[in-house]
Amino acid sequence: MLKISFITSLNLISESKWVFSQTFLTRQFSFLIPCLLKSCIFSQSLHLSHHLPSIHAQTVVSGLQSELFFNNLLINGYSKSGLLHEARQLFDQMPQRNIISWSSMISMYTQHGQAEEGLSLFSTFARSFSFSNSSNEFMLASVLSACLQSPTVIDCALQVHCLAIKTGYSSDVFVGTALVNFYSKTGFMEKAMSIFNELPVKNSVTWTAIMTGFSRIGSHDLSIRMFSQMRVTGVMPDGFVLSSLISSCAAVEFIRGGRQVHGFLYRSGIEMDVSVNNVLIDLYCKCCRVGTARKVFDRIIAKNLVSWTTMVAGYMQNSYELEAISLFSEMNSQGLRPDAFACTSVLGSCGSLVALEQGKQVHGYAIKANLGSDEYVNNALIDMYAKCDSLSDARVVFDVMEGHNVVSYNAMIEGYATLEDVVEAFALFRRMRSLLICPTLLTFVSLIGVSASLSRVNISKQLHCLIIKFGVLLELYIGCALIDVYSKCSFVDDARIVFDGLEDHDLVVWNAMLFGYSQNGEGEEALKLFKRFCALRMTPNAFTFVAVVTMASYFASLFHGLQFHAQIIKAGVDYDSHVLNALIDMYAKCGCIQDARALFCITNKTDIVCWNSMISSCAQHGHAEEALKLFNVLLTRKMVPTYVTFVGVLSACCHVGLVVEGLCHFYSMKCEFGIEPGIEHYASVVNLLGHAGRLVEAKEFIEEMPIRPTATVWRSLLSACRTYGDVELGRHAARMALLLDPHNSGSQVLISNMFASKGMWEEMEKAREGISHSGGVKEPGYSWIEVEKEVHVFIAKGRVHQEAERIYSMLDCLTLMLKVYACGPQIPQVLVSSWQF
């Protein structure tokens, strides 16, 4: 008696006592061996499993090695301890085997991921024995679960199913449940459901199998409904059923349901083991209750790897990057070995935080932990490096890894898209298509993004076709990208078609469309759309206001601008730097430079964008000295000027003809501030030199430009040539401008005006013919002013306005005054002239 109680408390005995106790295990105590074995098996603890060989040896010494019962227990013990080889050796040496020996072996292989081995053992068994006589439900269930892991699943399982029917075991709870589980795991939910419905007796495992089947195919609602059915039948739910239920609630973010289950668990006294708690963490994280999730996490006494990983993933998904990283490092310091799941999540957080150093450390750890071949880890690494501006490292991971999937390609393409590397992005896209990897929504979002930033409308149209061809749903993300690209490429009507084709419109899509109209100067449409937006009682945000205020700037409509400003103050976004910036720009464009200045004064003057706006506004209003002064103040405040700053500065220099100062600023851009000048800057310098009459210098400057000059640059020189009457250079400039932009009539108008001013009528006639030959149509110039909420539009030579008579008489008066005060030579302007009606 004493010894039996000693053995049943084996879990508690220490190593030394165990060694001592072995001496008692002689033949007369052989009845103790099964008890010992059971203790070892059920304790599942490693420090006991290494006693198995000695117990095994004891059975041999005790002459019990031929006892079937002992050997089956030993197989079970070895199998639970992962000592597969030892189990197999024993199995092969056993003088007798029964169906339990075979089943145990098959289950063992299945549990350790060697289902093939298990199935081959089963076929040996089936060949040597007549199945119908000697099989039992345990065997069938083991084989079914082996089938679930093997690639030959379907065939084998169907055979087992037939056998089960033949032997009458198919209505057994165990076999039936295994069948339900099999079909639901392999996606044959209808089959699983029909077996499920026919089962006379169901237990909680059966319900778990069917419920998890439904959640696996995404029918979480169905799974939740199954639970209510189960309650009606009176089967008591266990931890497994409730786990499954909670994960369904988590998947559909059904927080109320999840909370109810949590409460039920609490009240019913069902043991809240780690697994249940883990699903609860997941539930609260998915429903954005990170704090509650953390409380559940903290209360778990025996946290396992999944608990930690779920919490790290939860932090990551809710953008708690710092918490995710610190919990991950805590895992390490507690001696846990984070697996591929944990690494994937924490890498996501490193990427969002642009924490390259931490990301690299995780990479190092992943390699050491032998996780370097996990596809999720590799994809997360690509993403992390791409987000941390280390695209070359991302590419190395991409090139080295095996088995790329869509996510790998998407992450890599997005990396190139951010760098506007259209060539590499599309090279990868072609490669994935040639490998028949189906692109997803995100692939297209990235690719449209590149084509938008480079204004490549042809590429965008092709992508749009592909989106339709691949059946990628035209949902918000992609719709927004398309609206963006079409607007940027001036195809604003196409953008509108996309906008109208979307079923739902969220704020971001509205903003994109409003921006599209603003960018293209379609003030009227933008206004109409904004009215609809307001009628739908949508709440605008800072982006919306930036779009509409920009629209008011295009209109130069102070009336609208003031209204928007009032709404901005009401919405409380009046200190947003983008909004302020748009407002400064609006007031300046509406002629209210004082208001612009006043707004600039209330900004905290830390945002360079506002400085840029103010400098440009001053330049536009001819306050060049103020613009340059602002620029100097900016430098003394140790702020770093940007690309746009110099556009303003150079234009200010242009306005007042500060050639030397302008050139100085231009050269300092690259030398002092490391900003590569763009086409706007080059154009400004050409303008600067041209206005000053330094035409040859301007021409040489254009020819030495490292980037390809645009037609605008040549037209700027042409205009200067006209002013200074340099026909030869003008002709050259016009030729270059037309070469680059044959459809723009502006160049031809300029050159023909120049010929006219020189009295070169024949040449002028030729130039005018050129206009009609090239299909160039001179767009009528028009302008408008706003008087008491009414917009008056004026077109050159127009006579439509009701007060046309008075306007023209005033104009004549002004023209006369100009002639009197004009200091320069009279330049006849034949084609475009708003003065000579």
Partner DNA sequence: ATAGGGTTAG
Binding residues among 56-85 for DNA as defined by CB under 7 A: none
Choosing from 51, 56, 161, 185, the residue that interacts with DNA (CB under 7 A) is 185
Query: Minimum distance between the CB of residue 266 and DNA, rounded to whole angstroms?
Result: 18
Binding residues among 239-268 for DNA as defined by CB under 7 A: 240, 243-244, 247, 250
The residue range among 287-295, 341-349, 551-559, 696-704 that interacts with DNA, by the rule CB under 7 A, is 341-349
Site map for DNA, 394-413, x if CB under 7 A? ------------xxx-xx--
| Closest CB to DNA among residues 244, 613 | 244
Query: Minimum distance between the CB of residue 340 and DNA, rounded to whole angstroms?
Result: 3
Helices 375-387 and 406-418: angle between axes, nearest 10 degrees: 10
| Closest CB to DNA among residues 320, 646 | 320
CA dist., res. 85 & res. 79, Å (int)? 9
Q: What is the largest CA-CA distance in the chain?
A: 134
Which DSSP category does 302 fall into? S
Query: Minimum distance between the CB of residue 359 and DNA, rounded to whole angstroms?
Result: 13
Query: Minimum distance between the CB of residue 107 and DNA, rounded to whole angstroms?
Result: 5
The residue range among 342-350, 606-614, 669-677, 696-704 that interacts with DNA, by the rule CB under 7 A, is 342-350
Q: HSE of 4 in the Cβ direction (CA atoms, 13 Å)?
A: 3
The residue range among 313-321, 419-427, 611-619, 734-742 that interacts with DNA, by the rule CB under 7 A, is 313-321
Is the sign of the CA dihedral 287, 290, 291, 296 positive or negative? positive
Helices 406-418 and 422-434: angle between axes, nearest 10 degrees: 170
User: Please, are residues 221 and 239 in contact by the beta-carbon 8 Å criterion?
Assistant: no
Asked if 369 is part of the footprint of DNA (rule: CB under 7 A), the reply reads: no
Query: Minimum distance between the CB of residue 377 and DNA, rounded to whole angstroms?
Result: 5
Here the tokens at position 50 are: 């290494």
Query: Minimum distance between the CB of residue 36 and DNA, rounded to whole angstroms?
Result: 22
Choosing from 156, 442, 619, 734, the residue that interacts with DNA (CB under 7 A) is 442
Here the tokens at position 671 are: 């030398």
Binding residues among 414-433 for DNA as defined by CB under 7 A: 414
| Closest CB to DNA among residues 347, 736 | 347
Residue 728: CB atoms within 10 A of its CB come to 9
Q: Using H for helix, E for strand and C for coil, what is the string for 719-788?
A: HHHHHHCCHHHHHHHHHHHHHHCCCCHHHHHHHHHHHHHCCCHHHHHHHHHHHHHCCCCCCCCEEEEEEC
Asked if 223 is part of the footprint of DNA (rule: CB under 7 A), the reply reads: no
Strand, helix or coil for residue 94: coil
Choosing from 67, 86, 374, 522, the residue that interacts with DNA (CB under 7 A) is 374
Strand, helix or coil for residue 675: coil
Site map for DNA, 269-308, x if CB under 7 A? ----xxx--xx--x---------------------xxxx-
Look-up of token digits 């200010």: 652
Binding residues among 510-569 for DNA as defined by CB under 7 A: 512
Query: Minimum distance between the CB of residue 470 and DNA, rounded to whole angstroms?
Result: 15
Asked if 506 is part of the footprint of DNA (rule: CB under 7 A), the reply reads: yes
CA dist., res. 529 & res. 500, Å (int)? 11
CA dist., res. 26 & res. 24, Å (int)? 6
Which DSSP category does 788 fall into? T
Binding residues among 579-618 for DNA as defined by CB under 7 A: none
Query: Minimum distance between the CB of residue 69 and DNA, rounded to whole angstroms?
Result: 19
Query: Minimum distance between the CB of residue 91 and DNA, rounded to whole angstroms?
Result: 17
CA dist., res. 228 & res. 257, Å (int)? 12
Q: Which residues are bridge partners to 792 per DSSP?
A: 785
Q: What end-to-end distance do the CA atoms of the chain give, in Å? A: 124
Binding residues among 730-789 for DNA as defined by CB under 7 A: none
Asked if 145 is part of the footprint of DNA (rule: CB under 7 A), the reply reads: yes
Binding residues among 467-486 for DNA as defined by CB under 7 A: 476-477, 479-481, 484
Q: How many residues bind DNA (CB under 7 A)?
A: 82
Query: Minimum distance between the CB of residue 387 and DNA, rounded to whole angstroms?
Result: 7
Query: Minimum distance between the CB of residue 793 and DNA, rounded to whole angstroms?
Result: 35
* Interior/surface letters 128-138, b for 16+ CB within 10 angstroms, e for the rest: eeebeeebbbb
Binding residues among 663-722 for DNA as defined by CB under 7 A: none
Q: Using H for helix, E for strand and C for coil, what is the string for 377-445?
A: HHHHHHHHHHHCCCHHHHHHHHHHCCCCCHHHHHHHHHHHHHCCCHHHHHHHHHHHHHCCCCCCHHHHH
Choosing from 74, 83, 163, 343, the residue that interacts with DNA (CB under 7 A) is 343
Look-up of token digits 């345990």: 138
Is the sign of the CA dihedral 518, 520, 521, 524 positive or negative? negative
Choosing from 287, 290, 325, 340, the residue that interacts with DNA (CB under 7 A) is 340
Binding residues among 620-649 for DNA as defined by CB under 7 A: none
Asked if 449 is part of the footprint of DNA (rule: CB under 7 A), the reply reads: yes
